Amino acid sequence: MTPPPAPSPRRSRRPTVWARLRHSSPEARAVQIGVVGTILVHLLLIFLLPQLRLRDLTLTNPGNSGTEANSFDVQLAPPEPAPPVPPKPRFVETNPNAPDNVPDKTNNVAAQNQQVAQEKPTPDGKSDRPAITGEPDKPDTAIVSGQLVEPRALPAAAPAPPAQPVPPDSQPPPRAAEAPLPGTAKNQGETPEGLGTNAAPLVPHSVPGSERVEGVPGATSTDNFPIWSPSIRIDPQHPLPRPSAATIKTQARPTPLRENRVGTANVGLTGIDAKWSSYGEYLQRFIDSVQAQWDRILIQSSIYPAPGTRVTVVFRMNSKGEIAAIIKTSTTGGAESQYSCVSAITERSPYGPWSDDMIALLGQEQEMTFEFYYY
């Protein structure tokens, strides 16, 4: 028989943590339990703290659910308002015939001071521009249209003609008779207590003076204005008519007007609220110069575009008064209509340097747009 195998020796077992705690002293056991409890508490805080924060956010907005419950709003304090930027002045063309009058308050600038007025007032009208009959799609810078007369240099005075000898047989025209004013006659009543009057009978051709001058009654010549003098003769019995508003021509450039139905209650010559400025005066001279050059080009040209043609030219002017560049042109007619308009702007360049006020307002360059209308 085979003898049974010998029993294997038992492995020695190491004591576990709980066994060590059980067999250790009470003081060491208390310390070990405190360390283990501290570790467990920290682990619980690490895992449970994010859940507690999300729960607090959900309670602050109980009306939302799902993904909306995890959202929150952020409100920032509004920024301080920036200081208001004053609007740039608006150029307008005034009526040269209207009197110079400073308006109370306006953002319009022009070549002269002017207050809004019109010949037929608009009841309760408070507009800063007058009521105008025109077309709705036209520019609204001008308020009157007239005939622009380009200023010319005065010619030198002609030398006086030499004195011509008077022929012996020629006789000067008859001189007007003059009689001094008569004295007064005193008429007294029949009784000393009656009323008396002083009367002066009218004498034909009576003039103030001390001596009587013989002449022909009804003659119009005088010593100051002889009938053969080249000066203007004034006949007191046939005075010349005074010029009226209807006979005075408006010295403004011919331009289409934009319709404006609501005007002002002020009565007078057609005017607009505007204040004088160097910018307004410069731009008015510039526009008048372009208008005069355009008219000269059209007179000398043998080709005239069809009536109703409209040309728009966008250009840039610098502070030296030079046309720096033509940016864009457009027309409703042919190419010939554009050539004359561009030439009217560029041929008289430069137009003079800008003032310091204009440079402060516009900078070193300014983009402008001109519209030309053929009629």
pLDDT digits (tens, 9 = 90+) for 247-271: 456 678 888 899 999 999 999 999 9
Q: 3 pLDDT exceeds 60?
A: no
First to last CA, the chain: 144
Q: 289 pLDDT exceeds 80?
A: yes
Q: Looking at residue 167, what is its pLDDT?
A: 63
Confidence of residue 224 (pLDDT cuts 50, 70, 90): very low
Quickly list DSSP for 159-186. PPPPPPPPPTT--PPPPBPBEEPP--EE
- Cis (ω within 30 of 0) for the bond into 165? no
Confidence of residue 328 (pLDDT cuts 50, 70, 90): very high
Confidence of residue 2 (pLDDT cuts 50, 70, 90): low
Q: In the predicted model, what is the mean pLDDT of residues 130-145?
A: 88
CA–CA dist 26, 188 (Å, integer): 162
Q: 359 pLDDT exceeds 80?
A: yes
CA–CA dist 329, 336 (Å, integer): 12
Average pLDDT, the chain: 76
DSSP 142: B
Q: Looking at residue 282, what is its pLDDT?
A: 95
Q: In the predicted model, what is the mean pLDDT of residues 311-335?
A: 94
Q: 291 pLDDT exceeds 90?
A: yes
The predicted model scores a pTM of: 0.55
Task: Collapse the DSSP code of 94 into the 3-class scheme (helix H, G, I; strand E, B; otherwise coil) and give the result.
Answer: coil
What is the per-residue pLDDT across 64-121, written as a single tens digit (0 to 9) for each?
554 555 666 777 778 888 888 778 889 999 999 999 999 988 999 999 999 999 999 9
Q: Looking at residue 199, what is its pLDDT?
A: 57
Residue 331's Cα: distance from chain center in Å? 26
Residues 6+ apart with CB under 8 A from 369: 312, 313, 314
CA–CA dist 355, 181 (Å, integer): 65
Half-sphere exposure of 174 (CA within 13 A, CB side): 10
Beta strands in the chain (DSSP E): 90-91, 108-110, 179-180, 185-187, 197-199, 206-207, 275-276, 310-318, 323-331, 365-373
C-beta of residue 263 within 8 angstroms of C-beta of residue 96: no
C-beta of residue 267 within 8 angstroms of C-beta of residue 117: yes
Q: Looking at residue 287, what is its pLDDT?
A: 94
Q: 151 pLDDT exceeds 50?
A: no
Structure tokens at 18: 């709980």
Give the other-Cβ count within 10 Å of 343's Cβ.
14
